[in-house]
Amino acid sequence: MFALRRTALPAFSLARTYATSGNVSTLLLVEHKDNKVAASTLNALTAASKLGGSITALVAGNAPDTVVSEVAKLSGVSKILVAKSDAFTHALPESHATLLVETQKKHGFTHLVASHSAFGKNVMPRAAAILDVAQVSDITGVESADTFVRPIYAGNAIATVKSNDGIKVITVRNTAFPAAGQQDSAASQEDAPSISADKNLAEFVSEHMQKSDRPELDSATRVIAGGRGMKNGENFGMLYELADKIGAAVGASRAAVDAGYVDNSLQIGQTGKIVAPELYIAVGISGAIQHLAGMKDSKTIVAINKDPEAPIFQVADYGLVGDLFTAVPELTKKL
Amino acid sequence: MSSNLRILVACKRVVDYAVKIRVNAAGTAVETANVKHSMNPFDEIGTEQAIQIKEKSGGKVEVIAVSCGSDKSQETLRTALAMGADRAIFVESAEELQPLAVAKLLKAVVEKEKPDMVILGKQAIDDDSNQTGQMLAGLLNWPQATFASKVELAEKAMTVTREVDGGVETIKTPLPAILTTDLRLNVPRYASLPNIMKAKKKPLTKLTIADLAVDVKPRLETLKVTEPPKRQGGKLVESVDDLVDKLKNEAKVL
């Protein structure tokens, strides 16, 4: 569906003009939960700053004050639009997309940006369709204000894509951009346009979040992941011990999740989380295409597997062929 | 359910998930000629979900499979029919279709067929966009329940458990609504040989882009496609001691 065919390019496009601060104005949709800005929004902000031009942040919530003051201090944010309403208590896409569209109509941004998180993925395409523009999903690079790099086919090919729409709607792969820092002067604030409530849409019922003291999987600098080779959920205890010793997050392959060893939210891969830590330790994971899609941009990859033919060894910087049930405790002891 | 329900299921023909893809020599696209294709795995889950709803209702649900694309997309629709869909709609397009174009075509089909629910996969494994369901919901101004891992239908409403970052969330939407499937929703059935034979006789309606009067002009232009950087993998260590030493002194990550 993506135009993978090369379309004929007019000659002048070869000398592409790059974005100048005069014509780019970006709206960043801020994701937050429990009064804290989501880490992935900081990465999306860095991507937004690569577009050149001004960055306005949109913060929506029923009581967003704490989040607004946090966002005001983020490097590169010049203005914050605040939408305070009970309609935004939960991250429902219907209200958030309507807000984005109304904000766009009033302010006329050139770019709408959010992180490619469950929230961003849910909201942004809905808004893009209402605005009748395409979306460029999960970008890993900004070439210019209209040209972006993104992985396709589970990361087995990298496409460079130019958007010909007047408004560029973009979601950002958080691991591809560093987190934005702080700035000295706080951004100014303004009210976002109000939206009328549509009663005929979705309502929030409940949520169940996995509680953990370990770092968040998608922003951790070290990740240890277990696969089918772990044999059961109890054996993941070994990985937790090792993880706690080196301050790592714990993840899993699809096989481990499907077998019920750990919760779905720990899945790493094409359809789960994408991670790119300094150190990734794959334990009892064979290395299917779909799993590699989620971790092969890690800086250093270690594989522990008893099968020397496992594809994971083809991407691992260090491979240990052996029984994980002896190797992992030994590793924990020696660190 | 007392009343009849109509479910539209969107299915995309994609390069099979197990295929190790290759970028073409010109660096303009992924090689798709002579490569095994099959139904997008998330769409199989969507088809399965529709059929399970039908089975629970005692057959009072009509399941319509729809696919947009090249002539060969009809094979994908036959698969959906063999799994248990009642009939199929094929929207023929020689051109590549981007998510916004597909969402508009599906909107036109929805307006013709008036389903109570449209089920799509959460993403196609070729373009990995994760957009079409949300776009369709936006165009129709219907509620959307994306990344669903559990669905319960009641009279004129559904309760959906969604996979979100860090856990799950449950929402309730009135019907009509859009549902997009996550991996955990179900395990799709295999089509049996007799059902594959029967599927050949089930109705398949062909439509063209012109029939639906939709502008499908691509908005995104792919300038180039490249191979991802190769990793220098493949170094084996002898022991845990060796591994610890390498991580501390060579990679300096511990």
Residue B158 touches partner A, C-beta closer than 8 Å: no
What pLDDT, on the 0 to 100 scale, is given for residue B59?
Answer: 84
Q: Which of A191, A207, A237 is the last residue of a domain?
A: A191
* CB distance A226 to A254 below 8 Å: no
Tell me the HSE value of B52 on the side-chain side, using a 13 A CA sphere. Answer: 16
Domain count, chain B: 1
Distance CA A24, CA A26 (A): 6
Query: A165 and A61, same structural domain?
Result: yes
Residues A186 and A48 in one domain: yes
User: What string of H, E and C letters represents the secondary structure of B214-231?
Assistant: CCCCCCEEEEEEECCCCC
B170/A contact by beta carbon, under 8 A: yes
Whether A233 and A307 share a structural domain: yes
Q: What is the CATH number of the domain that holds B211?
A: 3.40.50.620
First to last CA, chain B: 59
Closest alpha carbon within chain B to A39: B165
A289 is in an annotated binding site: yes
User: Is residue A196's pLDDT more than 90?
Assistant: no
User: Is A54 assigned a ligand-binding role in the annotation?
Assistant: no
Report how many domains make up chain A.
Answer: 2
B140 occurs within a structural domain: yes
Prediction ipTM score: 0.96
Instruction: Provide the pairing of β-strand B220-226 with A157-163.
Output: antiparallel
Residue among B99, B223, B236 minimizing CB distance to A147: B223
**Residue among A2, A155, A327 whose CB faces B98 most closely:** A2
Q: A117 to chain B: which residues are within 8 Å by CB? A: 165
Closest chain B residue to A140, measured at CA: B228
Residues of A in contact with B17 (CB under 8 A): 289-290
Domain boundary among A171, A191, A211: A191
In CATH, what number is assigned to the domain containing residue A186?
3.40.50.620
Residue B3 has a pLDDT of 59
Question: Which amino acid appears at position A141 of this protein?
Answer: G
Domain assignment present for residue B254? The answer is no
Task: State the CB neighbour count (10 A cutoff) for residue A65.
Answer: 12
Residue in A closest to B23 by C-alpha: A157
> From the CB of residue A230, how many other CB atoms can be counted at a distance below 10 Å?
27
A300-305, strands of its sheet edge to edge: A249-252, A222-226, A279-283, A300-305, A318-321, B236-237
How confident is the prediction for chain A on average, in pLDDT?
Answer: 93
Name the nearest CA neighbour of A198 among A287, A280, A97, A266. Answer: A97
**What is the bridge-based pairing of β-strands A54-61 and A25-29?**
parallel
Binned at pLDDT 50, 70 and 90, residue A7 comes out as very low
Q: Give the position of tokens 């329940």.
A: B145
CB A137 within 8 Å of CB A151: no
Q: Kind and range of the H or E element at A226?
A: strand A222-226
Cβ burial A251-265 (10 Å sphere, 16+ → b, else e): bbbbbbbebebbbbb
> For A67-90, what is the mean pLDDT?
96
Same domain as A234, residue A187: no
Cα–Cα dist A225/A243, whole Å: 10
Q: Pick from A168, A191, A214: which residue ends a domain? A: A191
Domain that holds residue B99: 6-249
Residue A211: pLDDT band (50, 70, 90) is confident
Beta strands B37-39 and B13-15, pairing class: antiparallel
Is residue B178 less than 8 Å (CB to CB) from chain A?
no
Query: Has residue B206 been placed in a domain?
Result: yes
The answer to whether position B198 is within a domain reads yes
Q: Residues A266, A160: one domain?
A: no
Percent of chain A predicted with pLDDT > 90: 89
* Chains A & B: contacts with CB separation below 8 Å: 303
pLDDT at A12 over 60: no
**Which residue of A136, A318, A321 is the best one to mutate when testing the B interface, meaning the one whose CB has the most B CBs within 10 A?**
A318
Judge whether A201 lies within some domain.
Answer: no
- Residues A81-119 have pLDDT tens digits of 999 999 999 999 999 999 999 999 999 999 999 999 999
Chain-chain contact of A126 with B137 (C-beta, under 8 angstroms): yes
Q: What is the pLDDT of residue A224?
A: 98
Quote the CA–CA distance of A47 and A320 in Å, as a whole number.
37
Would residue A239 count as lying in a domain?
yes
Same domain, A245 and A155: no
The model's confidence at residue A21, banded by pLDDT at 50, 70 and 90, is very low
Q: What residue in B sits closest to A259 (Cα-Cα)?
A: B184
CATH number of A311's domain: 3.40.50.1220
Residue carrying structure tokens 């079409």: B132
Give tens-digit pLDDT for A137-169: 999 999 999 999 999 999 999 999 999 999 999
Q: Which stretch of A128-142, A305-319, B232-246 has the lowest confidence by average pLDDT?
A: B232-246
Residues of chain B with pLDDT under 70: 1-3
Chain B residue numbers with beta carbons less than 8 Å from the beta carbon of A122 are 134, 144, 146-147
Domain span including residue A143? 3-191
Whether A114 and A155 map to the same domain: the answer is: yes
Nearest-CA residue of chain B relative to A128? B135
Is A228 marked as binding a ligand? yes
CB pair distance less than 8 Å for A125 and B145: no
- What pLDDT, on a 0 to 100 scale, did the predictor assign at position A263? 94
**Cβ contact (<8 Å) for A4 and B28?**
yes
pTM greater than the 0.90 cutoff: yes
pLDDT score, position A22: 55
